[in-house]
Amino acid sequence: MQWGGGGGGGSGAIANGAAAIATGQAECVVVFRALAQGQFGRFGQGPRMKTVSGPAAHTLPFGLMSAAQMFAMKVNRFMHEHGVHQEALRAISLASYAHAQHNPRAVMHGRPLDADTYDASRWIVEPFHLFDCCQENDGAAAMVLVAGERAQDFPHPPCYILAAVSGSQHRSGAPVHNTPEYASSSFTTVAPRLYEMARLGPGDVDVLQSYENFTGGVLMSIVEHGFCKPDEVNEFLTVDNLLAPSGKLPLNTSGGNLAECYMHGLGLNIEAVRQIRGQSTSQVPGADVALVASGPMVTPVSSSIFGSEATL
């Protein structure tokens, strides 16, 4: 059961599976996502239709058609209100591409990105350059969930789901871009519940995997999960701070949706598990807590926290 548009259901599906196991409705659950982009007119295109009605009638006739266009409006508002520079978005992209160079599975492995190339790339819609936008890939990703007491039955180090929640703030899905908290990635109510469930806080997180439909969603997700304040974004979001192994907050260590592969973000949850097991190609030493933010700016969104045995 994948709830929400875009990747908003990634961690939510894990929450559903964990709940089924915890309540005895299932012993083993597979969470998966599979995509074949050409079947659904994706590839960043606007909708193909001859007539339009409802909320779309307020946007499509005026050229607001693609996901990049819709989400750029929210990100522009946030950047304007808090004086955020383009370099913050660039740092997110460069960190993802740098991590992908260590990951032979990554689509962008062997295709590094530098600041000059990012700056020279074409605008898709401001503030998004080409390299601020996620890939479109065919493929699949899957995770197997079992009860915690069975973790010792398997050959790899155990990884535990410490928290997984889904939701969004009041009227975050209001149509026609009139939600009250417009410049938001929709985690303002989800993040506090996540930390309360895990009995942890932002300072306990060793590595972050944040869904990037576009880099602006990552930026706002980092703020709404408490890693920095809105007016601290320019200082916090630097490439050095986001790189494994020694950055303040290593980000998207597989390459993420930008540079590894786009499977509606489920690859980010898988990478969080790799970090806890010590199996990432950009490993954070001693990573005990990994957070995943799924599907910023859609409704609902979801987040999850994975932990090692030391966190129990």
Measured CA to CA, the distance from residue 100 to residue 262 in angstroms comes to 13
- In the set 97, 118, 195, 262, the catalytic residue is 262
Measured CA to CA, the distance from residue 142 to residue 164 in angstroms comes to 17
**Adjacent-strand bridge partners of 290:** 207, 306
Among 229, 226, 240, residue whose Cα is nearest residue 192: 226
Q: Respond yes or no: is residue 211 known to be catalytic.
A: yes
Q: Respond yes or no: is residue 118 known to be catalytic.
A: no
Alpha-carbon distance values, 131 to 40, 108, 122, 128, 296 (Å) = 23, 11, 9, 8, 18
**Adjacent-strand bridge partners of 306:** 161, 290
**Which residues are CB-neighbours of 82 under 8 A, at least 6 positions away?**
230, 231, 233
Measured CA to CA, the distance from residue 301 to residue 3 in angstroms comes to 9
Q: Which amino acid is at 251?
A: L
Measured CA to CA, the distance from residue 163 to residue 185 in angstroms comes to 19
**Adjacent-strand bridge partners of 142:** 32
Catalytic site positions: 211, 262
